[in-house]
Amino acid sequence: MAELNFKQELVGCYGYPVAENPTQAMIEPAFRALGLDWRYLTLEVRPEGLKAAVEAARVFGFQGFNCTIPHKVEVIQYLDRLGESAELMGAVNCVVNREGKLVGENTDGKGFVASLEEIDDPAGKSVVIFGAGGAARAISVEMALAGANRISIVNRSEDRGRELTALLNDKVKDRCPELESNFVLWNGNFQIPSDTDIVINATSIGLYPDVDAKLALDSNALTSNMIVADVIPNPPKTQLVKLAASKGCHVIDGLKMLVGQGVIGIEYWTGRIPDASVMRAGLEAVFE
Ligand code: NDP
């Protein structure tokens, strides 16, 4: 008789609020498809409970966990060390148990770059990014590390936009000497420069329930040689995605990025490469 084992390996997501986070719907089907008896728990962790929750992950022998709002920065003080991207960004969205040490990684931007690399190489490209929050920070740093050589940060609030541009032109440029980054204040219809290769919405514009919200940009400046990406996972067909498709652009929707970072998280935790199509199907069953 085969040896019996009723102990599952555990991973999960720490957030507050967290009940609407759909990550479990893509991770657990991937575990099943890999034949792994693992569980992904959606765990409501209030800010005052974060320290104890990280200790609990150690006590229960979690293989790792995702962090979402509001824990991505605060969690760092409770971890043993950081990976390169998380160190540069100052934010962690994926904690990995490596031989008993909890290591903070950031897979948001890596997931984005992986989905982009399916259609083009970011090296040498000119990129416009709308937004300067957590998603824009993760994407811009990874795009720079992947070799993009011009990154324009277009943001509504000047302070956040300048802070991100300074990070790119300072800490990130040390590792990517070719990088040029500039800030553009977003206070009207933005004119995308004609030599732009990749346009990315990294704001929350278009996120459910504001599904009709549009980015303020001159739509005539979008041309079919551009790649247009949107981080919004719900709904995946945002107004920007629809506009870009109508212009003949290559389009990357927010589910691709979500799946991309999930693939990397599973690889970090299990050492196995999951089936991205199973993960996307799990999310589509939730969102569409
Ligand atoms: P933040 O709150 O950190 O940043 C939000 C950004 O959006 C800021 O730059 C903000 O500008 C801008 N913004 C919001 N509303 C408007 C508006 N009406 N007009 C102009 N700018 C606006 O959020 P995150 O960066 O963490 O997340 C952004 C989005 O990315 C979320 O919708 C999230 O769901 C999505 N996301 C998707 C992921 C995926 O895997 N697909 C992964 C991570 C995030 P300002 O600075 O002026 O306030």
Coil, strand or helix at 127 = strand
**Is 17 among the domain residues?**
yes
| Per-residue pLDDT, 288 | 67
Do 117 and 54 have their domain in common?
no
Which stretches of the chain score pLDDT less than 50?
A: none
Q: Which residue's C-alpha comes closest to atom 27 of ligand 1? A: 135
Q: What percent of the chain has pLDDT over 70?
A: 99
The first and second tokens of residue 108, run together, are 């948001």
Q: How far apart are CA 245 and CA 8, in angstroms?
A: 43
Instruction: Give residue-wise pLDDT tens across range 68-86.
Output: 999 999 999 999 999 999 9
Do 116 and 96 have their domain in common?
no
Q: How far apart are CA 288 and CA 285, in angstroms?
A: 6
| Per-residue pLDDT, 287 | 81
Q: Which residue's C-alpha comes closest to atom 21 of ligand 1? A: 156
Q: How far apart are CA 203 and CA 230, in angstroms?
A: 9
Give me the number of domains the chain comprises.
2
| Per-residue pLDDT, 166 | 97
Do 118 and 57 have their domain in common?
no
The rounded Å distance from CA 99 to ligand 1 centre is 35
**Nearest-10 crossing angle of helices 108-117, 134-145:** 50
Instruction: Give residue-wise pLDDT tens across range 199-225.
Output: 999 999 999 889 999 999 999 999 999
The first and second tokens of residue 272, run together, are 């196995």
User: What is the model's pTM?
Assistant: 0.93
Residue recorded with tokens 């409501």: 44
Q: Are 63 and 36 in contact (CB under 8 A)?
A: no
Pocket of ligand 1 (CB under 6 A): 108, 131-136, 155-157, 160, 203-205, 207, 231-233, 254, 257-258, 261
Active site residues: 72
The first and second tokens of residue 178, run together, are 């070719």
Domain that holds residue 121: 110-252
